[in-house]
Amino acid sequence: MAFAVSEFKSNLRGGGARPSLFRVEFQYPSGITKPNPPNQAKFLIKATTIPASTIGSYDVYYHGKAIKVAGDRTYDTWDTTIVNDEDFGIRNSLENWMNSISNHKLNTRNKQIFPGAPMGEGDTAPYKSTLKVTQFSKAGYSLRTYSFIGAWPSALSTINLDWATASEIEEFTCTWVYDSWVVGHNTGGQNEDLFSNEDFLSDDESG
């Protein structure tokens, strides 16, 4: 039957993935240590996306007829929306990271934070890092992880201030560029639990 709801139900076996069940994690470059970078990114990044997958193409003509030939893979920028706490912890660390890549005054890279002569590029460049976004199941198990290789913050959005806004929390967007992304497939209960007890321990309890 064309519109059989029972057939639809039987093919939606997991009940559909939920866009709210995700976590973003990233590592700061080793030189970004003053002040110590906060580790609460997995709690304060409130929105992002699973990355697009794009392979370019080009036309080869034969007697006026175009044949589509696969080209190179390209990678879009990636955005994260971040809740701003009163310590400005993540914002401050990202600003320091960007300032170390390109100084506000001199437009130079900080060689003390990112040592090496010449300054390396590629996946292993000292100013680049790895980002991860993990999709979780409704049971709290990781389903799929995307890792962004060679990533660095390219742009921070404004934070809007307004006397008439009294009951909202500040947030901002960080736009990332990266060299490539890879995907890891996970399988149910043998993987990391979204609701790990360690996430809810106090500083005293966690040691």
Domain-by-domain residue ranges, the chain? 17-206
Taking a C-beta distance cutoff of 8 angstroms, is the pair 123, 174 a contact?
no
Tell me, what's the pLDDT at 203?
Answer: 40
pTM of the complete model: 0.80
Exposed/middle/buried for residue 45 (C-beta within 10 Å: 0-12, 13-18, 19+): buried
Confidence at residue 34, expressed as pLDDT on a 0 to 100 scale: 56
- Within a 10 A sphere around the Cβ of 137, how many other Cβ atoms? 19
Helices (H), the chain: 5-11, 41-44, 89-101, 203-206
Which residues are registered as beta bridge partners of 185?
A: 144
Alpha carbon separation from 74 to 51, 108, 115, 147 (Å, rounded): 11, 28, 29, 16
* Six token digits for residue 204: 């005293």
pLDDT value for 156: 97
For domain 17-206, the CATH architecture is Roll (2.30)
Q: What is the pLDDT along the chain (207 residues), one digit of tens a residue?
A: 677 888 888 888 788 899 999 999 988 887 776 556 666 788 999 999 999 999 999 999 999 999 999 999 999 999 999 999 998 989 988 998 998 888 877 766 666 666 654 456 766 688 888 999 999 999 999 999 999 999 999 999 999 999 998 889 999 999 999 999 999 866 555 545 554 544 433 344 333
Are the beta carbons of 138 and 12 closer than 8 angstroms?
Answer: no
How confident is the model at residue 201, as a pLDDT?
39
Identify the pLDDT of residue 206: 35
Provide the pLDDT for residue 193.
54
CA atoms of 68 and 85, how far apart (whole Å): 50
